[in-house]
Chains A and B, each alone.
Chain A
Amino acid sequence: MIELNHVSKMYGNVVGVNDLTLRLPMGAYGLIGPNGSGKTTLINLLIGHFRPTIGSLRVLDTSPSSDRQLLRRIGLCPASDVLYPNVSALEWVQYQIRLHGIPRRDCRRLAETALEIVDMTDAMRRPMGTYSLGMRQRTKIAQAIAHQPDLLILDEPYNGLDPVGRNDMTRMLRDWTQSGRGLIFASHVLQEIESVTPSFLLIHGGRLLASGTAAEIESILADTPQEVRLVGKDVAKLIHRLADVDWVESLQLNHVKHELKVSLREPIEFYRQISTWIRDDNLVIEQLRTPDGNLEAVFESLLRRHRGDVT
């Protein structure tokens, strides 16, 4: 479906994406990364809007920047909002499909079908200026799927959707995936992607840090240096244990001696030992905070690993 070969994109001196090499067979993939990580640049490369500064890429077996026919097979829902205040969703979606060169007589039917899929039939003749953010988001999805593409690329598709809308969107994306068509789904919220596909691409600082299923990424993380926090009245009593092992990089006890920050070189060893020590020494530890709840920290850990700062 997608093949990137040492692709870099520079904006002057700023690196958008950096030496991405990737091969993805047809399927659904979550593209996860914090804001500014290069997700949108990668998407712009995939749709041929940007040309790589270095390297080459192919999407659906063709080069997106030179073969405009490819765009007929791609549907994109960008993160940016769309607002033509006095134009209805039906008019806008029809117009968007028409620009693919689809005959005028088919555009209306395709637009109506797409708007029905995203549950916008009742409001599709109203001016978009009267829509809520969620309705505009649904309309954006409709324009992405209306021409029945083979590959759907979504950039933050859950923006502005209420819980019901999120549920509907998840169901629609699962159906899309099950139909055998391609899906790239960019988000900075792990749970959103996880509800649609188990396959992830982790991108940060324009680099692809890791790819695979959630379990595979967890196993990578287990071997990746990371920082954990232990909270409880007995955390100071763990110091003598941790100071003796070579897989701990640093220890930091806060001033009330209630929280211990441990920087780990080999997290897997830590997780293997910690429960035994707590049990044997009969310690009261209330919390163990891992980087899982802090995506930025996970990315930082992976980035250090990617750079070769650690092995």
Chain B
Amino acid sequence: MNRLTMPWDVVRFELRRSFTPARMAMWLVLVAFPIAIIATMRTIANAHLADKLDPADFVEPFGVTLYFLVPEVTCLLGLLLWATPAISTEIEGQTWVYLALRRSGRRMVLFGKYLTAVIWTLSAALVAISASVFLIGTDVMLRMWLVMSALAVLSCLAHAAIFLLIGVVFYRRTMVAAVLYTMVVEYGLSFVPALVNKFTVNYRLRGLLATWMGWEDVRSNAENIFGSEPVSTHLLVLAAITITLLGAALYRVENAEYPTQQEG
């Protein structure tokens, strides 16, 4: 029990030290920008269609946009800022040695930082989804909210594990490596109609989006983008990616010899 609660103590400490104006501002930006885009789209739709407006017609375009803005962009940006530098900030701040010296320091701190990154990013994502779904205002609001929230949870868990591993391996050029990964894999390879896109998180999330929202037309028109596998396959692959990469990060951090300071 003592060890089980330790990651939560790390989360508590990390959250406590994170309540800085800069971090709060970043959180607000992550929340505000999808809402602003959805609000703008809704305003334009209202202005152009006026009394012919049928909210049911906008479920798919608004849904796809919201999916792209929150479970993809907001979650990826938030995790880039939170999960990727988990170790590099400690190394640059020369505080890594204090953590590495603790009996449970390395793994517990990394796992705690993983949970913190997920909690912090997910909180922004859920607020953004809630406000955006309310603004879209369709008759499937609850379903859209549930699906987007579930996708945000899965996105945060999987992407946090990926960025954490990148941060643990490339501790010197962490952000460069993570941005490169995001651009090349999640926004490049995930759209390539080949076997390789099936190993990307975004492909799996898009597949779940189409299935859970019941968008069979969308899926049949773009099967390479939305996939045709059952929900269980998508969830299994996402779980495998998350567990494997998180495990690899925890293994790596336990055995890494990071620099502690200028050698004296």
Contacts and interface: CB of A to CB of B under 8 A. Distances in A.
Interface in B82-129: 93-95, 97-105, 108-109
Nearest to B257: A50
Contacts of B98: 78, 82, 96, 143
Contacts of B93: 83
Contacts of A11: 263
Nearest to A187: B264
Given A76-B97, A99-B6, A101-B104, A40 B261 contact: yes
Interface in B3-23: 3, 5-6, 9-10, 13, 16-17, 19-20
A49 B97 contact: yes
A104 B9 contact: yes
A37 B262 CA distance: 11
Interface string A245-259: 000000000000000
Nearest to A41: B263
Query: Which of A78, A104, A143 is the most central at the interface, judged by chain B CB atoms within 10 Å of its CB?
Result: A78
A99 B264 contact: no
A304 interface: no
A44 B16 contact: no
Contacts of B105: 71, 99
B16 A35 contact: no
Q: How large is the interface on A (under 10, 10 to 19, 20 to 34, 35 or more residues)?
A: 35 or more
Contacts of A104: 2, 5, 9
B224 interface: no
B contact face: mostly helix, strand, loop, or mixed:
loop
A87 interface: yes
Query: Which of A79, A80, A84 is the most central at the interface, judged by chain B CB atoms within 10 Å of its CB?
Result: A80
B263 A101 contact: no
B257 A96 contact: no
In the complex, the 9 A-B pairs of residues with the closest C-beta atoms, listed nearest first: A99-B102, A80-B94, A80-B261, A40-B264, A71-B103, A99-B105, A95-B13, A100-B103, A78-B97
Interface of B: 2-3, 5-6, 9-10, 13, 16-17, 19-20, 93-95, 97-105, 108-109, 257, 260-264
29 contacts: A11-B263, A16-B263, A33-B264, A36-B264, A37-B264, A38-B263, A44-B97, A49-B97, A49-B257, A51-B257, A71-B101, A71-B105, A76-B97, A79-B264, A80-B94, A80-B95, A80-B97, A81-B94, A83-B93, A86-B16, A86-B17, A86-B19, A95-B13, A99-B103, A99-B104, A99-B105, A100-B102, A101-B104, A143-B98
